[in-house]
Structures are given as structure tokens and as C-alpha cells.
Amino acid sequence: MDIFVGFRYNRIMARILLIEDEAAIRRMLSEILVGAGYDVAELTDFGNLDDLNRGVEGSGADLILLDLGLAGLSGLELLRRLRQNSDIPVIILTGETAEAKELLAMGYGADDFVSKPYKPELLLLRIRAVLRRTLERSRSDIYSFAGAKIDLARGVILHQDHRTHLTKNEMIILRQLLEERGKIVSRETLMTELWNNQEYINDNALTVNVSRLRTKLEKIAGKNVIETRKGLGYSLVEAEHGE
């Protein structure tokens, strides 16, 4: 059946990250997802929220399956932290069906719920539905640059079957540079856009964010892809030779 076929995006199989502390359930979910053709990553260290958050950031996931009942930790708090920097879709796995709990989780930024015990057909349908919604939202946020596709709705650069993930601040900055490609974008414009998106950063933080974004783009498009125009701002240019 079609619901068992993994969702592909730009020829790259969607990657799903499992955050579930019960090994048996994790194995069962992994088998379902792999059998459906998805690329699966797992987090197995549940020592603290900071480690989990870093694991999520480095996973390259297109969607997260998050168990609310992590032993000794709060799945809701992890979701809250994740939403500070990322729009990766999240499906909550929960044995608690109380409406108040679900509404609270949705307020934290969850995209959908699946209740235990998990029915494979329902789980896969929910995953496909969320991924399709994400793709539809992202169509107007896809840019081409130096042979790469930049999907700002998902905060990812797709290049030669590799993903480079962007922080929320990097996404805001890059959107401005892409919209004004080849032109100078002032630091004041970038600061204003960041503040309009409730990202309260100072002048030094802007410099750091631009530097990090430049490093990521240079791995794809070559050196000096973001030019600094002293006293004026920044300009996004196509490099002659990508790496």
C-alpha cells in the first residue's frame, strides 16, 4: 500500500528522529519506519535536556517522533527549547489522552499526536500527512543558489544529497540576502528583520550569525559568498568556483 512508502523530498529520503527512552518501543518504531522506507535516526542518551537538544540539532531530521514521558525529563520542555531555533515538524507520542495535555503540547508547537498503543497504519498516515503539509508550506520558501536548493521553511540547504541545517537567525538573514541577491543589505535592515521576528540580538551577535552563515554557504558555493561591504552591510554573490 502507498502509506508504507517513505516520503521523498528532492530525491532525498525523509529522515525521522526517534526520541523514545524505552528500547523495546524504539526498536518497534524503527522497524515500522525502516520497513516503510524512511531513514531513521535515534537518540539513546537521555541524561539531560541540553544533550538531547544538541542531538536533535545535529540529527538532520525532517520530522521528530517525541515521547512525552521521557524518564526523568520533560518532553514538553525539550519541545519548547526546540521551537526556539527550529521548525522541524514534531509528532508527539503519548499514552496520556487527556485533552488538556494535548492542548498544552500543541501550544508548545507540536504538529500532531499519536497515542499508545501505536497502530502502524495510523502512525505512517500521520507522518505522511505532516510531511506533506511541511512540503506545501515550503514551496514558496525554496530558493536556488550555487547549485543548491535552500528550503527556508524547513531551515535546510540541500546540495548533492547532503543537508546543511540553518538556525532560525541564519534563516532570517539568508532570506534577506536572497531577496536582495547581488545588492547590499544593510546591517540595520537585518537587525530590524530579526527584531520583527522576535529575535532580540545585538550588533555583535549579528556579526557572529553572519559569520556562521558564511561558513555554511562557503562549503557549498566557495569563498567570499557573503561579501562584507565595510560601513554598508552585506551582499550575497555567486562564487565562480564552488567546492
Instruction: CATH number of the domain at 134, please.
Output: 3.40.50.2300
SS3 content of the chain, % helix, strand, coil (to 5): 45, 25, 35
Burial class (CB in 10 A: 0-12, 13-18, 19+), 48: exposed
H helix and E strand count, the chain? 8, 14
Residues 6 or more apart whose CB falls under 8 angstroms from that of 8 comprise 14
pLDDT at 146 (0 to 100): 86
Select from 114, 128, 227 the least CA-distant residue to 180: 227
| Residue 70 lies inside a defined structural domain of this protein | yes
Full residue range of the structural domain in which residue 219 is found: 166-236
| Residue 147 lies inside a defined structural domain of this protein | no
Judge if 190 and 77 occupy the same domain.
no
Judge if 133 and 203 occupy the same domain.
no
Judge if 7 and 118 occupy the same domain.
yes
| Residue 15 lies inside a defined structural domain of this protein | yes
Query: E strand or H helix at 9, and its extent?
Result: strand 8-9
Judge if 98 and 178 occupy the same domain.
no
- Alpha carbons within 13 angstroms on the beta-carbon side of residue 56 total 29
Judge if 100 and 174 occupy the same domain.
no
User: How far is Cα of residue 93 from the mean position of the Cα atoms in its chain?
Assistant: 19
Which SS3 state, helix, strand or coil, does residue 234 take? strand
Judge if 93 and 177 occupy the same domain.
no
pLDDT at 105 (0 to 100): 54
Instruction: CATH number of the domain at 230, please.
Output: 1.10.10.10
Judge if 193 and 135 occupy the same domain.
no
pLDDT at 4 (0 to 100): 45
Please answer whether residues 187 and 233 qualify as being in contact, where contact means their C-beta atoms are separated by less than 8 angstroms. Answer: yes
| Residue 144 lies inside a defined structural domain of this protein | no
- DSSP letter (8 states) at residue 116: S
Whether the bond between 117 and the residue before it is cis, its omega within 30 degrees of 0, is yes
pTM higher than the cut 0.75: no
pLDDT at 149 (0 to 100): 87
pLDDT tens digit at each of 243 positions of the chain: 344 455 555 445 789 999 888 899 999 999 999 999 999 998 877 777 777 777 887 788 889 999 887 776 777 877 877 777 677 889 988 776 655 456 555 667 788 888 878 889 989 998 999 888 876 665 567 888 888 888 887 788 888 878 888 888 999 999 999 989 889 999 999 998 888 766 778 888 999 999 999 999 998 888 889 999 988 999 998 754 443
pLDDT at 52 (0 to 100): 76
- Domains contained in the chain, number: 2
Judge if 40 and 83 occupy the same domain.
yes
Judge if 134 and 170 occupy the same domain.
no
| Residue 99 lies inside a defined structural domain of this protein | yes
Please answer whether residues 196 and 180 qualify as being in contact, where contact means their C-beta atoms are separated by less than 8 angstroms. Answer: no
Judge if 119 and 221 occupy the same domain.
no
pLDDT at 174 (0 to 100): 94
| Residue 154 lies inside a defined structural domain of this protein | no
